[in-house]
Structure 1
């Protein structure tokens, strides 16, 4: 079975919108694990607009499954990861002002930089993964950095799925085969949802883990909204 790691950034966004501690990020993470998820993912950014650096520290003592911290390896991020020592660190080349991740690494251009950062984390006993587009050249370049895994950036698959799933998934199927041949573990994430995840899993071999946040939280709102509205109505009778 491919593992599910739930990205809880959106829970932090909701909490931060009103101040205070509602929803409780730590309780939510513990609940998600109790519901069966095999991992918790966070993506702290320098402006701390959702996950705060202290959240990363607090979650370390709580998460009992796989703990994945992803982000751009600037000094502040590197220092945080080395302090917290999660199960896995996923390197993402997002700009400081990016709303969300929007591209994978150019593993050829940034090979030397990635090698240095990855070795730093591996020396600390932290499994490394790097965010890449589903392109043969980028996957092969990733293998030369010394990373343990790659995470395929799946926005294009999600975007094109409705036009034809066979064509949409093809680059990811091929990238997965190349990753396996190169000895890389395979993760995937970005805009995967209940609508498209099953087909992706069935057609992308050797898939170890998916990281899903935005879609999962949106779906939880929709699928749970009727129940909560009716609970309020019953209280008000």
Structure 2
């Protein structure tokens, strides 16, 4: 079964909008695990506009499932991850002012840089994943860096899904098959939702984990948080 990791960035965004502690990020993370989520994901950015670096440290003390920290491996981020030692770190090439992640790594161009960063994290016992577009060449480049996993960037799939789901999924199937051939494990995330996740999970071989944040929190406004988590779990079986 594919594991569901819930990204709680949007909870932090809502909390920060009022400057207090409502909603309580730590309580939400605990509740998500109680509802069945198999991991908690955060993506702290340098300006701390949603997840704060202290949130990462606080969450490490209470997350009992898998803790996944995403981000661009600048020095501040690397130091944070090495201090916390989450189960997984996901490397994302977003710029400092990016609203959200919008591209995967060019694993060929940045091979040396990624290899060095990944080696540092793996020496600390942290599983590594690289955010990549569904391109077999990028998957092959990821393999060379020594990463344990890739995370397929699924925005293009979500955008095309309503019009032509077969065409939308095709490049992801090709990329996933190449990853399987190379022995690189597969995660996925970005714009996956209740509408499109079941088809994705059924068609991507050996999909280990999905990280869902924005869509899940938006859907939870209508359906209730516990219900949404269990609906995801049902679709991923």
**TM-score, L = length of structure 2:** 0.94
Instruction: Give 1:36 deviation, angstroms.
Output: 0.3
Q: For 1:137-163, what per-residue CA distance to the aligned partner results, in whole angstroms no more than 9, with x for missing partners?
A: 100000000000000000000000011
Q: 4+ runs of 1 displaced by more than 2 Å?
A: none
Structure 2 distance, partners of 1:61, 1:97, is 29
Aligned twin of 2:93: 93
Structure 2 distance, partners of 1:221, 1:210, is 20
RMSD across aligned C-alpha pairs, in angstroms? 0.8
Aligned twin of 1:228: none
Aligned twin of 1:219: 219
Aligned twin of 1:42: 42
| 1:139-154 map, 5 Å | 139-154=139-154
Instruction: Give 1:224 deviation, angstroms.
Output: 3.6
Matched, 1:102 2:102: yes
Q: For 1:95-136, what per-residue CA distance to the aligned partner results, in whole angstroms no more than 9, with x for missing partners?
A: 000000000000000000000000000000000000000001
Instruction: Give 1:223 deviation, angstroms.
Output: 1.7
Aligned twin of 1:182: 182
Aligned twin of 2:196: 196
Higher Cα radius of gyration: 1
Aligned twin of 2:124: 124
Structure 1 distance, partners of 2:224, 2:33, is 18
Aligned twin of 2:13: 13
SS in 2 for 1:163: coil
Instruction: Give 1:33 deviation, angstroms.
Output: 0.3
Structure 1 distance, partners of 2:224, 2:79, is 38
SS in 1 for 2:222: helix
